[in-house]
Structures are given as C-alpha cells and as structure tokens.
Amino acid sequence: MIRRGHLPKISILSGHNFNVSLIMSRSRVPPILRPRLTPKYIASSVVAIYVLYCWLWGMPLLSSNLPAYTGPHPVGTIDIESPCDGRKTSDVKFKSNGQPAFLLETVLFSVYYPSIKGAKSDKPKHLWVPKPLSITAEGYAKFAHISNFLTNSIFTVALWGLAGSITIPANVDVPLREIAPSFEFTEHGAGKPEVGNDGFPVIVFSHGMASSRTDYTHFCGELASRGYIVAAIEHRDGSGPGSMVMDIDGSERAVYHFGLGDLDVDDSFDTSELKQAQLDFRQAEIEETVRVLKAINDGSGTTIYEMNPRKEGEHLASWEGKLDMTNVTMSGHSYGATGALQALKGAPCPERPFHGGLILDPGKSSGPLNHDVDVPVLVIHSNSWSKKHSVFFGRPHFDVVKDLVVDVNKRGKAAWFMTSLGTSHPSVTDAPLIEPMLLSWTTGSTIDVYDGVDVYVNVTEEFMIFQKAQRRTGLLALDVTHPDYDSSTNGTQEMPQAYQRFWQIHVAPEST
C-alpha cells in the first residue's frame, strides 16, 4: 500500500483539486529569460559570450593582446626607478602649489634584455597600462581639457575596457643571458659578422608626446629578443599623460600632463620656451638613465636594486661588465626623436656616450631640430610623416630633415634618411598591435601591423651592426633610390624587389 507521503506529486496535487495546467504554466521560464531570436537578443548574446570568453582567457575586452617576440632569445624586463641629485632644469613653478615643475627627483625606465633560456619568474608580468590606471586616464582627460571627477571616471572605465588587462609578454626580473664567445647578430641576407665579446649593445629610447615608456614595448622587446639591451625612459616633463614617482621611503606622488596654463610664468614664456624646458628636462633624464646603466655595468647592481622602490633587479649584480657602454645608441620617436637629436649634441661625451642616433619621425611641433650631430644617424620617416607637407620654421619639414642628414655625411659620419612605406606615425608603437582595425582606419596605414614594427626592427638591427662592425648590410648597403618622397627612381640605385614595398631611401653615405 502506497503511503500518502510517497504519492507522486501530480497525484497529491490532483487530490487537492489543484489545477495542474495552471501550475505548469506558472512554472514556465519567465518571459525575460525566454530565448527569442530577435536582433536585440542575438546581439546581447554575442556581447555576453564575448565578455565571458575574454574573462576566461584573460583577454582585454575591446583590444588584442600583444604578440610574443620572434627573436632567438627569451626577453626579460625590469622597471628601475633610481633617486637623482634633485637638480632643477628650470626655475618655472606650478600655479597650484608653487612647487618646481622641472625638478628631477628620480628617473624611471624599463629595461628590456635577452634572458637565459628556461628562466622562470615568480613575479607577474607588467601591465601595459601601469597601476593605478586612473593616473593615465586622468592625464588623457587633461590632454583633452575636460578633466573633472566625472570625465576622469569615464576615461578610467574606458581605458580599463580597452587595455586594463593587457600585459607585456616579457618575463619580469629574470637573469640576463650569458654573452657567447662571439656575439651573434641576425642579418638579412648578408651573413653574420664576427663581433668581439664586448658586452651587449645598449639602446636608450625616448617616447613621444602623450606617450609613456610602455607605449613602445614590442619594438623594445623585439630588439631585446635579438640580443640588444633597451632602456625605455618614462619622461616626467609634462608631455606624458601621467606617472607615479616613487621614493625608497615608500612615498608616492602622481605627476600629470601640464601646459602653459598650469605654470606660474609671465607672458614672455610661450609655448616654444615650454617645449625647450621640457626637452632640457628630458635630456637630464637621459643622462641619469646613462648614469644608472654605467653604475650597473661597473658593479653597483646590488645598490641599484636595493635603492629601487619598485623592488625589481635582484640579478643586477651579475650584469657587471656585460653592457657595451662604448656602443650606446640614442633613439626616440616624434617628440622623443627631437630630444634624441638634442642629446646627440656634443656626443659622445661622458654624460652622453652615444655613438649613434636612431631618429624616428622627428617632431614637427616640438621645437627646432639640432643639426650639430657628429655620430652616425639613421632617420626614418613613417609614410604619413613624409607624405604630409608641413612648414617647419619657414621650410618644408622633409627638406629640413634631409639637409640635417646630408650635413652629417659631409662631416664624415655615415647617415641615412628613408621613408617606411605604408606606415603611419603610430606604426612603431604598440597601438596598431592592440587596435589594428581602428588604427588602420584612423591613420591611413596600409601595412600589416606586424610588418609595420618588423621593418623598423630589422633596419635598426642593421644600423646597430654597422656601428659595431662598420659594415653596411641589408637595406643600409643600398644607395639613394628616391631623392625626394614618392619621386620616381631618380636615385643612384634601383630599389631591389625585396624592399620596394617597404622603403624609399632619400639620403645614404657614398659607396666606397
């Protein structure tokens, strides 16, 4: 006999005269949860699935992750912040608090380097937008002249959605690779020259306006994967969005973008004077970066590590004697290229031991370009930089740059000026890799985003080989192909097929 408590639920309900159809209808899925194949429902589902996919795989919501490096060596990275002597490069002060605007308290740079194979890091990878992300977001709001609590919050959320989870694909604070008996440079169709075991060649890199040290990580890391050490500086001259100054005592202070309106100056202090003050401050930061690198190479790596408030550099003691400080190249992009040219004035010298300059899209609105250069230089224009006619102190910018390079050759130093076809001003940055479709649409770039960085890296490597081995290889072995931008091949040499899609050479040393 079946006890009532064991009766099927449908029988119990029937025994109490419940309307079964009513119960079943009430137990149906609510209308809001019922799938209906409307365009709105499909779109919402796609967005939800995409967000879930990004969350599961650790991908940014609206961007692409940075690609892995392609060179033969794994890449390590260290953030180094080092106390400085507290020098002021200008007496200008802020209106808001009367504090010096150009006081050099610390210098911050990221080092990218070839690491030993199989090295594991116990530290998380660096974020592409450093924390706190709100500093960078507020800085961009200041650039747009709309900085307030609401807009800063909106910019922070937007930046988080675009790039908040993107990491730099380099292992943090792993050991530097041991130097092989004969340092191997990768050349493109020209063999491998034997280069003495003098240490790793060093490149100091200066970022452009509205940028930071992390905007060029793939260019820097790709060079590191091929055997170079690159120090990418974070400039605190007011030209970047924002940066956190950290001291060894644990104190922190945010610095942001600032303009003329933020400074306590008289009417005679105009934009040109502000830019010169910024360039002077940048040069001081460049010199401090060199000082720290020299100290590491001279055996003070442990001290640099202990004084680094970012707690990175535990293996720096083993870097002693491994940096070729006789083969340091000064490099920069846009505003940073203008600053790099300024830093080459009087070089090489103890404060700026630069034996070459890599100049990418020298600035069109960042002040005059220094022509007093007595070391080899490679000047590269993106296609958009050469294509757009710009008046620069009364002359076409292209002509000013061309004359600068010609003058270096006349002084007996090898110098090149060329245009990278299909590229745009941001092509050497990480931006096209993270937002390829958006950047191609807004900048007019036609080159594949990966090729866009690779062409810069390849010719940079050839320039580094020239400085070390005094041999012109690859693209640098060619003569002038296009005296002017986009002119017919009126130069001294036809452009070989392998380079036709990518390059025009406007100035080159005379062949011997």
- Could you tell me the pLDDT band of residue 46, with boundaries at 50, 70 and 90? very low
Q: Checking phi first, is residue 277 left (phi over 0); if not, alpha (psi -120 to 50) or beta? A: alpha
All domains in the chain, ordered by first residue: 129-165 (no CATH), 181-507 (3.40.50.1820)
Q: Which two tokens stand for residue 193?
A: 């020259």
pLDDT over 50 (residue 291): yes
> How confident is the model at residue 31, as a pLDDT?
53
* Rounded Cα gap, residues 28 and 30, in angstroms: 6
348 preceded by cis ω (within 30°)?
yes
- Could you tell me the pLDDT band of residue 487, with boundaries at 50, 70 and 90? confident
pLDDT over 80 (residue 391): yes
> How confident is the model at residue 437, as a pLDDT?
81
- Could you tell me the pLDDT band of residue 393, with boundaries at 50, 70 and 90? very high
> How confident is the model at residue 226, as a pLDDT?
96
What's the whole-number mean pLDDT along residues 418-435? 96
- Could you tell me the pLDDT band of residue 198, with boundaries at 50, 70 and 90? confident
| pLDDT tens digits, one per residue of 103-119 | 999 999 999 999 999 99
pLDDT over 50 (residue 396): yes
* Rounded Cα gap, residues 140 and 211, in angstroms: 10
pLDDT over 50 (residue 55): no
pLDDT over 70 (residue 190): no
The CB density around residue 5, as the number of other CB atoms within 10 Å, is 6
| pLDDT tens digits, one per residue of 267-281 | 999 999 999 999 999
SS3 309: coil
- Could you tell me the pLDDT band of residue 354, with boundaries at 50, 70 and 90? very high
- Percent of the chain clearing pLDDT 70 (strictly above): 83
> How confident is the model at residue 42, as a pLDDT?
52
What's the whole-number mean pLDDT along residues 229-252? 97
* Half-sphere exposure at residue 9, Cβ-oriented, CA atoms within 13 angstroms: 3
* Rounded Cα gap, residues 371 and 377, in angstroms: 11
> How confident is the model at residue 7, as a pLDDT?
39
> How confident is the model at residue 179, as a pLDDT?
78
> How confident is the model at residue 63, as a pLDDT?
77
What's the whole-number mean pLDDT along residues 372-382? 99
pLDDT over 60 (residue 465): yes
What's the whole-number mean pLDDT along residues 333-345? 99
> How confident is the model at residue 154, as a pLDDT?
94
pLDDT over 60 (residue 425): yes
Mean pLDDT taken over the chain: 88
pLDDT over 80 (residue 59): no
- Could you tell me the pLDDT band of residue 493, with boundaries at 50, 70 and 90? confident
Q: Which two tokens stand for residue 447?
A: 């080159």
> How confident is the model at residue 127, as a pLDDT?
98
User: Which range, of 8-17, 169-178, 243-252, 471-480, averages the lowest pLDDT?
Assistant: 8-17
pLDDT over 60 (residue 26): no
> How confident is the model at residue 78, as a pLDDT?
99
Core vs surface per residue 50-75: b (16+ CB within 10 A) or e: eeeebeeeeebeebebbeebebebbb
- Percent of the chain clearing pLDDT 90 (strictly above): 77
Which residues face 358 on adjacent strands?
331, 378
Q: Which two tokens stand for residue 84?
A: 């400085």
Catalytic residues: 334, 361, 425
> How confident is the model at residue 39, as a pLDDT?
67
pLDDT over 80 (residue 381): yes
> How confident is the model at residue 43, as a pLDDT?
53
Core vs surface per residue 195-216: b (16+ CB within 10 A) or e: beebbbbbbbbbbbbebbbbbb
Higher-confidence residue: 128 or 6?
128
Q: Which amino acid is at 372?
A: D
**Any idea what DSSP says for residue 186?**
P
Higher-confidence residue: 333 or 86?
333
What's the whole-number mean pLDDT along residues 14-33? 46
**Angle, alpha carbons 388-390-394 (nearest 5°):** 160
